[in-house]
Amino acid sequence: MLIKKGDSGNNVKFLQQGLRLVCINSCSMDGIYGNQTERAVIRFQNKNGITTTGIVDDLTWNVLCEQIIPLQRGLKNAGYNIGTIDGIVGAKTYNGILDFQSSHGLTADGMAGTGTLKLLFPDNNDTTPYVLSRGAKGENVKEAQLRLIALGYSCGVAGADGIFGNGTYDSVWDFQRVNGLPVDGIAGPNTLALLYSSTPKRYEVEIPAPSVISETNNIVKSINDEAFLDNFVSIALNENGIVEKYDNLTKYGDWYGMDGEPWCAMFVSWCAHQAGLLATANNANGIIPKYAAVSTGLHWYKRKSRFGAKGSYLPRYGDILFLKNDASHTAITVGYDERTNKIYTIEGNLSNKVCKVWRYADDSRITGYGVNGSNSPGYILEDAIPDTKGDINTR
């Protein structure tokens, strides 16, 4: 997405209506990107800690959409037909906010300010009109990070740094899942209200019983004696050394449909797809999920009772490694050496490329493993590089 001064059309109008909905008045909604719209974009970028260029790039567009999604969901829950909840302010969403304001005795200006938010989210006593999403910066973000950390949710290696990055996204995702909220990784009014209430649930790592883990050993025996897992690992190893073009652009992201986003999970998914192991409705051999966010993959294995927690499970060949204590990252296990307590993996998006890596099994960053059923510990990668400092480009 790239919209700039001089452009015109529906995307410009969606932009103008979206800016107005989040209380950045572009002064015109004519579908023409003129001086007033450019100034409005600069105000939005400045407010959200984005480099102020006046040009709507992917980051600016995505941050705006992430702020609009909770408002669309609120309107839909209130009974208004806003169409698809996609973060794009088309005619249905914009007319929906106008109708909502009119029917509640508010000035129908299309801006979701304090009065509108108070009525749209009646369970939220704090009517501060802000939504926290990736790209946001400042004290509001830091305050939310501190609260999440106090409740046991990790915000990544940077901790409470006031920057809503991938670690904070995963933390909010986990908070929403644990507390029964709609899961989108965006800290909207309802998420923030529960976060600061006296009743949020703390994060607790789920550890299935060893008997549940052992039952998984039969999984790959039904798919040709681990041949599929061998193919899965071999495909991944053949990608070793592949470097992203720039800004997270890879064939893995292109295949997934999210090119330009951090791609460690998409690399795992791509390899599973190439090996015929991707879990889909029509694939009887599907034992590995399709996921772009680390949290999604981790919780898929937990729901399947196929998650082995660090300390109670030793990784096996073809398992999926998850790191979420200090950073969100995922990798494919190639081997475990009990003598040295080292895990050998092949993984994407480590220093912007595919790498063979080793780390100690008691690494504090490791949460656990997606168990894929092999009985083999795998083998040592003699040319693996150490990841002892957490140099991970995360999602």
- Helices marked H in 239-349: 251-256, 264-274, 294-303
Contact call for residues 320 and 301 (beta carbons, < 8 A): yes
Indicate the average pLDDT of the chain.
84
Distance CA 352, CA 392 (A): 9
Q: Do domains 130-204 and 210-386 have the same CATH topology?
A: no
| Residue from 331, 328, 320 nearest 390 by CA | 328
Distance CA 237, CA 230 (A): 11
Contact call for residues 112 and 71 (beta carbons, < 8 A): yes
Helices 227-238, 264-274: inter-axial angle, 10-degree rounding: 130
pLDDT, tens only, 96-116 = 999 999 998 988 999 988 788
Distance CA 2, CA 56 (A): 5
Cβ partners under 8 Å of residue 161, min gap 6: 142, 145
Position 391 pLDDT exceeds 50: no
More confident residue, 165 or 342: 342
Q: What pLDDT does 339 receive?
A: 92
pLDDT, tens only, 303-336 = 788 999 888 899 999 999 999 744 589 999 999 9
Return the structure tokens found at 256: 């997934």
Q: Kindly indicate the confidence band of residue 129, based on its pLDDT and cuts at 50, 70 and 90.
A: very low
pLDDT, tens only, 16-32 = 999 999 888 766 889 99
pTM of the predicted protein model: 0.51
CA angle 279, 237, 312 (to 5 degrees): 65
Segment 350-378 shows an average pLDDT of 91
Distance CA 97, CA 93 (A): 6
Position 48 pLDDT exceeds 90: no
| Residue from 291, 267, 288 nearest 279 by CA | 288
The CATH code for residues 130-204 is 1.10.101.10
Q: Kindly indicate the confidence band of residue 127, based on its pLDDT and cuts at 50, 70 and 90.
A: very low
Return the structure tokens found at 326: 């200090």
Position 217 pLDDT exceeds 60: no
Q: Kindly indicate the confidence band of residue 392, based on its pLDDT and cuts at 50, 70 and 90.
A: very low
Segment 343-366 shows an average pLDDT of 92
Q: What pLDDT does 3 receive?
A: 93
pLDDT, tens only, 165-208 = 877 887 888 888 888 888 778 888 778 878 877 788 987 655 44
Position 6 pLDDT exceeds 50: yes
Q: What pLDDT does 337 receive?
A: 94
Q: What pLDDT does 130 receive?
A: 61
Superfamily for 1-121?
PGBD-like superfamily/PGBD (1.10.101.10)
Contact call for residues 72 and 82 (beta carbons, < 8 A): yes
The CATH code for residues 210-386 is 3.90.1720
pLDDT, tens only, 228-268 = 889 999 999 999 999 998 888 999 989 988 888 889 999 99
Cβ partners under 8 Å of residue 390, min gap 6: 157, 326, 327, 365
Segment 109-127 shows an average pLDDT of 75
Q: Where are the domains of the chain?
A: 1-121, 130-204, 210-386
Terminal-residue alpha carbon distance, the chain: 20
